[in-house]
Amino acid sequence: MATVILENVNAHFPIYGAQQQSLRKQLFQRATGGSIEREGKNNDRITVKALSDISLTLRDGDRVGLVGHNGAGKSTLLKLMAGIYPPVSGTVRIEGRVTPLFDAMPGLDGEDTGYENIITSGMLIGMTRREIEAKIPEIEEFCELGEYLSLPVRTYSTGMTMRLGFALVTSLDPGVILMDEGFGTGDLRFTERAEARMKEFIGRSPIMVLASHSDKIIRTMCNKAVLMEAGRIVAFGPADEICDQYYESVHAAAAAAERARQMERAAAVARAAAVADAADEIAGTQASESVLGVDHYGMYPRSSLNFPLEALRPGDDVARLHNAQLLVDHLDNLETIDRNELISVEMKFEVMKPGHTMMPNFHVFLGDQYVFVSSPPQTAELEPGIYTTKMSIPRGFLNVGFFVIGVALTSVDPQRIHFYIQQALRFSVTERAFEGIPGPVRPSMGWDVTRA
């Protein structure tokens, strides 16, 4: 019988020598949330009290949703249950195997072959070699990598690596599932099969804990919920009741102010003249808990982001995101892209309700530096249906560096943000010559040199 018992758990993160101008950056690197206190003789030590006095007991059959605003401590609590963050006090007792689904590439070794990674991953969670070998045909069939399984994982594209990781994770006995709402599964052709496999995998789990901002996701997938605020549990009970309480305590208490802020941000995104300021504000307020539960400065590439489970698709009652991906002609491995290639960003979304003039928009960052935003020159009222939009970055436009693309969908009339995923796609731009030239962009302009 699986159980999860947390008793008076506290998780604190001290940050030494934090100057005012760099505090936000350092806190977002932690991506923990919670309350902030200054300590030390000269107040030169910042302590982020990410979790405070957490007590929680979960048993077989519990499907628990973690709800709360950004910085409430949901992702930190998941990582603490997974053993990534140790508590500074209190006890964490988990009976049964723990399966964290924070990412579909669960510690794969790039130098080992696919088969070697399968064996190693199984042995690390306590399986015998015979048990692992019995799972290999199932993994082979599902990931469809063929002879690539005999090659080092470093030779795989990002999509191939994610398929192997997803097939590996979901072939094991699930145990206690810890999950953030977004879970990439590789290329788009893989999505439908991944959705069915994920539903079956979750169904076999004795306990699931899911962090989400979506009321619909919690009500659909969970029978219990935890309401968190500033690193504390303020309520625990039936999912419907906790969702209602969350709406009343958070949304209703500040509904007018929050609507005004969201409309102001949405209007800024819709207006090209002010869109950069809106994106900076969104990045500043939402970076502490990304949709995938990955730290804001997690610097590994991702060329596609898919949401195969309908209930987990980010958005609202008007529109939801299906997937986003990078496209480069003649390239399968999109982890590194030559700056002279034509880079396209594609997003697929679904409109559920008519009456909204939609504006897709993509936000491009170099690390944590905002570079530019792009949106279609014209907007239109979209009828219910599934739409695909694509932006192309010209050849020779971006400089060398590691870029992050956020994908968003807003309405101009009425003004509204339907979804915004800040770290949807990540990739490196390279060039054999002229490395070290500063700046996020280096567009190839038209030049003419003549002798006087």
Per-residue pLDDT reduced to its tens digit, 331-385: 766 778 888 899 999 999 999 999 899 999 999 998 778 899 999 988 888 999 9
Is 191 inside a domain boundary? no
Give the pLDDT mean for 122-145.
85
What's the domain range around 65? 1-96+206-253
* Residue 267 and residue 373 share a domain: yes
Structural contact between residues 303 and 332, judged by C-beta atoms closer than 8 angstroms = no
What tokens does 146 get? 């063929």
Question: pTM to 2 decimals?
Answer: 0.53
* Angle of CA points 35, 86, 72, to nearest 5°: 30
Same domain, 231 and 280: no
Measure the CA–CA gap between 177 and 169, rounded to whole angstroms. 11
Q: How far apart are CA 202 and CA 221, in angstroms?
A: 10
The rounded distance, in Å, linking the Cα atoms of 262 and 281 is: 11
- Give the C-alpha separation, 217 to 145, whole Å: 32
Q: At what angle do helices 129-143 and 158-171 cross, to 10 degrees?
A: 130
Residue 193 counted as domain residue: no
Same domain, 394 and 301: yes
Are 225 and 283 contained in the same domain? Answer: no
pLDDT for res 69: 80
* Confidence (pLDDT) at 32: 42
In a domain, 340, yes or no: yes
Based on the fold, state whether residues 247 and 302 are members of the same structural domain.
no
CB contact set of 198 (below 8 Å; sequence gap of 6+):
170, 183, 185, 308, 309
Evaluate whether residue 336 is within a structural domain: yes
- Among all chains, which residue has been given the structure tokens 């994908």? 407
Same domain (yes/no): 261, 249: no
Please indicate, yes or no, if residue 445 is contained in any of the structural domains: no
pLDDT on residue 71: 78
Say yes or no to pLDDT of 128 above 50: yes
| pLDDT at residue 230 is higher than 90 | no
Distance CA 391, CA 376 (A): 8
Is there a single domain that holds both residue 217 and residue 299?
A: no
Q: Are residues 244 and 263 in the same domain?
A: no
User: Which CATH number is 295's domain given?
Assistant: 2.70.50.60
Query: Based on the structure, what is the number of domains in the chain?
Result: 3
Distance CA 283, CA 290 (A): 10
Read off the CATH number of the domain in which 38 is found. 3.40.50.300
CA 132/CA 171 separation, integer angstroms: 10
Tell me: pLDDT of 26 over 50: no
Residue 435 placed within a domain: no
Higher pLDDT, 54 or 450: 54
Query: Beta strand pairing status for 304-306 and 63-67?
Result: unpaired
In the numeric block, which tokens belong to residue 14? 């001290």
Same domain, 385 and 293: yes
Tokens 């006095």 label which residue? 53
DSSP letter (8 states) at residue 302: B
The type of residue at 106 is P
Supply φ then ψ for residue 392, to 5 degrees: -115, 130
